[in-house]
């Protein structure tokens, strides 16, 4: 089935769907809207939805229509092409198979996807293989909502579906979920390509299996902010001063404490390029500017100091080549990566 429109609105239980109740496959559904598609709300127990399904009907209908106890055909696939897709207030865009067949595939190509208040994009099966979900959008935002490619119930072996997201920015707020789970089969695979991923601490991206092998989550991004994202207007408290790493007494391990919101550097060589620092408690994080890196053509190699010399007036000079006359208390025990200890983010 194919639908073309400028604007498409489904609300208060309105649905567009294809279905199968037996061995045949459900039809595919293609919707192109030049401006917007909105799916919102429900009426009693009927959710507003665009869907393709293989449902199990009640016994009276199955008997009257001479249908099998459960469908064995596949759910169809959905293809959505629009400038803006909005799913809200329990609205659903889904491919579901309650029988033994597989779910279909969901393909979405749009500028913006906005999913809020328990809205969802789902590809779900009871027994068969979970369906795949492919999203391409400039921006994807979830607020208390979900994207799920889940397979299986107790005793079933279907594998979780795969989720692929390509977007300029992915934002997860208020317990939003992206999942590709299974019960006894293998968890699905989630692959996200985005320059920026921003997620609140209670949001999750996972591909697990209750009793089988967990799936994989691959995120390719240049900017990721989970615990202290710009989603929340968080104010951070300045950390307390700390003592430098010292080898005394010799029988105790040394520690260098890094208290910051920039994340622990991969190695000591990355300390100079990592944004540590802290935020003044009186200024919201959204109003502060991070330092910008600069590049110059005529740069000199930085030589790492090997110790220091006590000047006797309360000051010290760092030295490259120490000699026995220098005060080299720290030189005898060079700093190791194990010396770094991460403390919890302040204000996170």
pLDDT in tens, 30-43: 999 999 999 999 99
What span, in angstroms and rounded, lies between the C-alpha atoms of 152 and 187? 10
Q: What share of the chain is helix, strand, coil (3-state, %, to 5)?
A: 5, 40, 55
Contacts of 66 (CB under 8 A, 6+ apart): none
**Cis before residue 249, ω within 30 degrees of 0?**
yes
Contacts of 232 (CB under 8 A, 6+ apart): 200
Higher-confidence position of 327 and 27: 27
Identify whether the C-beta of residue 155 lies closer than 8 Å to the C-beta of residue 185: no
85 has which bridge partners?
37, 113
| Mean pLDDT on 175-204 | 90
Identify whether the C-beta of residue 146 lies closer than 8 Å to the C-beta of residue 178: yes
What span, in angstroms and rounded, lies between the C-alpha atoms of 313 and 62? 94
Confidence band of 321 (pLDDT split at 50, 70, 90): low
Report the percent of the chain where pLDDT is more than 90. 37
User: Which H/E stretch holds residue 112?
Assistant: strand 105-116
What span, in angstroms and rounded, lies between the C-alpha atoms of 141 and 20? 32
Q: What pLDDT was estimated at residue 143? A: 96
Contacts of 325 (CB under 8 A, 6+ apart): none
Q: What b/e sequence results for 32-68 when a residue is b if at least 16 CB atoms lie within 10 Å of its CB, and e otherwise?
A: bbeebbbbbbbeeeebbbbbbbbbbbeeeebeeeeee
81 has which bridge partners?
32, 109
Q: What pLDDT was estimated at residue 248? A: 44
User: Which H/E stretch holds residue 60?
Assistant: helix 59-65
Range among 9-23, 237-251, 292-306 rated most confident: 9-23
| Mean pLDDT on 94-113 | 91
Confidence band of 294 (pLDDT split at 50, 70, 90): very low
Contacts of 290 (CB under 8 A, 6+ apart): 275
Identify whether the C-beta of residue 155 lies closer than 8 Å to the C-beta of residue 125: no
Q: What pLDDT was estimated at residue 209? A: 86
Identify whether the C-beta of residue 177 lies closer than 8 Å to the C-beta of residue 147: yes
SS3 62: helix
Identify whether the C-beta of residue 256 lies closer than 8 Å to the C-beta of residue 271: no
What span, in angstroms and rounded, lies between the C-alpha atoms of 211 and 217? 18
What span, in angstroms and rounded, lies between the C-alpha atoms of 19 and 22? 10
- Count of all residues that appear for the chain in the document: 348
**pLDDT score of 289 more than 50:** no
Higher-confidence position of 186 and 176: 176
Confidence band of 56 (pLDDT split at 50, 70, 90): confident
Report the percent of the chain where pLDDT is more than 70. 63
CA dist 313 → 39, 85, 273 (Å): 73, 68, 32
Record the pTM.
Answer: 0.64
**pLDDT score of 151 more than 50:** yes
Identify whether the C-beta of residue 130 lies closer than 8 Å to the C-beta of residue 151: yes
pLDDT digits (tens, 9 = 90+) for 241-285: 444 444 444 444 444 444 444 444 444 444 444 444 444 433 343
List the Cα angle 293/299/300 in 5-degree steps.
125
Half-sphere exposure of 119 (CA within 13 A, CB side): 25
Confidence band of 13 (pLDDT split at 50, 70, 90): very high
Strands, E, within 56-207: which ranges? 78-88, 92-97, 105-116, 120-125, 132-143, 146-148, 163-173, 177-179, 189-193, 196-199, 204-206
Identify whether the C-beta of residue 177 lies closer than 8 Å to the C-beta of residue 150: no
| Mean pLDDT on 135-161 | 87
pLDDT digits (tens, 9 = 90+) for 166-175: 999 999 999 9
Identify whether the C-beta of residue 120 lies closer than 8 Å to the C-beta of residue 95: no
């Amino acid at each position: 089935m194919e639908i073309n429109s400028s604007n498409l609105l489904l609300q208060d239980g309105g649905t567009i769907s294809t279905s199968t109740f037996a061995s045949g496959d459900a039809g595919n559904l293609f919707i192109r809207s030049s401006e917007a598609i909105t799916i919102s709300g429900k009426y009693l127990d009927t959710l507003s939805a665009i869907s393709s399904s293989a449902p199990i009907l009640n016994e009276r209908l199955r008997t009257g229509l001479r249908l099998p106890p459960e469908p064995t055909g596949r759910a169809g696939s959905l293809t959505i092409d629009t400038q803006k897709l909005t799913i809200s207030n329990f609205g659903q865009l889904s491919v579901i198979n309650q029988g033994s067949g597989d779910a279909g595939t969901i393909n979405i190509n749009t500028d913006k996807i906005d999913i809020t208040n328990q809205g969802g994009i789902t590809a779900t099966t009871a027994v068969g293989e979970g369906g795949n979900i492919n999203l391409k959008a400039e921006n994807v935002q979830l607020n208390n909502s979900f994207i799920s490619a889940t397979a299986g119930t107790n005793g079933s072996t279907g594998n979780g579906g795969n989720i692929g997201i390509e977007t300029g920015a992915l934002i997860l707020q208020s317990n939003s979920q992206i999942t590709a789970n299974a019960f006894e089969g293998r968890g699905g695979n989630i692959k996200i390509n985005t320059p920026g991923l921003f997620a609140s601490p209670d949001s999750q991206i996972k591909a697990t299996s209750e009793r089988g092998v967990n799936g994989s989550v691959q995120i390719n991004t240049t900017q990721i902010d989970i615990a202290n994202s710009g989603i929340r207007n968080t104010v951070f408290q300045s950390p307390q001063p700390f003592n430098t790493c010292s080898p005394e007494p010799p029988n105790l391990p040394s520690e260098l404490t890094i208290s910051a919101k920039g994340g622990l550097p991969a190695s000591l060589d990355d300390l100079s390029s990592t944004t540590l620092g802290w935020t003044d408690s009186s200024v919201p994080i959204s109003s502060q500017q991070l330092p910008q890196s600069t590049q110059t053509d005529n740069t000199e190699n930085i030589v790492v100091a090997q110790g220091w010399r006590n000047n006797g007036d309360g000051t010290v000079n760092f030295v490259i080549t120490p000699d026995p006359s220098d005060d080299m208390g720290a030189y005898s025990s060079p700093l190791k990566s194990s010396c770094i200890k991460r403390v919890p983010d302040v204000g996170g």
